[in-house]
């Protein structure tokens, strides 16, 4: 069975939707950020600070390759920047059906304005950063996606229902 993969910008709800979907469909769930933190025994912020973003991105690609060697049928939520690498987009397509949880910049800002765990959004003008990064990334997300789910203003139940409806049987 193929995997269901959740992609999208930071704060769009990939991890929370993934866990709920896993209960609902009775499938195992994995999250690339959590897995990398577990393996590295340190937080993403610490990884970025000590070894830089490129090191983290290599870990993401390595984890996707590992997932491909294991069985399918999982729910996989991935870090917001993972689909930016073309190689990763190809790996996602090999793994399964890719759902882009699309959230607007204001929604993301409201959810993450007090967050300290996303190194790329720290510092001055987080709202501006979100808008700029979202615009830069949109093409990659669309290229990676099989299905786009607009999440602004929707509760989990609605989002899960839409995913379930589109999920390949
Ligand atoms: C990142 C998103 C984060 C995490 C890292 C980089 C990004 O994951 O992988 O901070 O580049 O968008 P979430 O999308 O789960 O926040």
Ligand 1: does its nearest atom lie under 6 Å from the Cβ of 79?
yes
| pLDDT for residue 118 | 92
Ligand 1: does its nearest atom lie under 6 Å from the Cβ of 140?
no
Residue 108, SS3? helix
| Cα 79 to middle of ligand 1, angstroms | 4
CATH of the domain at 44: 3.40.50.300
Q: State how far the Cα of 153 lies from the Cα of 26, in Å rounded to an integer.
A: 26
pLDDT at 168 > cutoff 90:
no
Question: pLDDT tier at 81 (50, 70, 90 boundaries)?
Answer: very high
| Mean pLDDT score, 55-73 | 96
| Cα 118 to middle of ligand 1, angstroms | 6
User: Which range of residues forms the domain containing residue 13?
Assistant: 3-167
Q: Whose CA is nearest to atom 16 of ligand 1?
A: 10
pTM above 0.95, yes or no: yes
Dihedral (CA of 9, 14, 17, 21) sign: positive
Ligand 1: does its nearest atom lie under 6 Å from the Cβ of 96?
no
**How many domains does one find in the chain?**
1
């Amino acid at each position: 069975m193929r995997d269901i993969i959740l992609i999208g910008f930071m704060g769009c709800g990939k991890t929370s939707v993934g866990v709920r979907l896993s209960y609902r469909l009775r499938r195992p769930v994995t999250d690339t950020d959590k897995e990398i933190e577990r393996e590295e025994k340190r937080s993403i912020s610490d990884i970025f600070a000590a070894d830089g973003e490129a090191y983290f991105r290599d870990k993401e690609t390595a984890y996707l390759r590992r997932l491909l060697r294991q069985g399918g049928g999982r729910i996989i939520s991935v870090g917001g920047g993972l689909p930016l690498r073309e190689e990763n987009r190809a790996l996602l397509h090999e793994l399964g059906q890719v759902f882009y949880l699309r959230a607007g910049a204001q929604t993301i800002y409201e959810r993450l304005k007090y967050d300290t765990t996303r190194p790329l959004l720290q510092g001055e003008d987080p709202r501006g950063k979100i808008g700029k990064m979202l615009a830069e990334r949109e093409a990659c997300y669309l290229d990676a996606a099989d299905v786009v789910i607009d999440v602004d203003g929707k509760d989990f139940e609605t989002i899960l229902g839409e995913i379930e409806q589109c999920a390949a049987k």
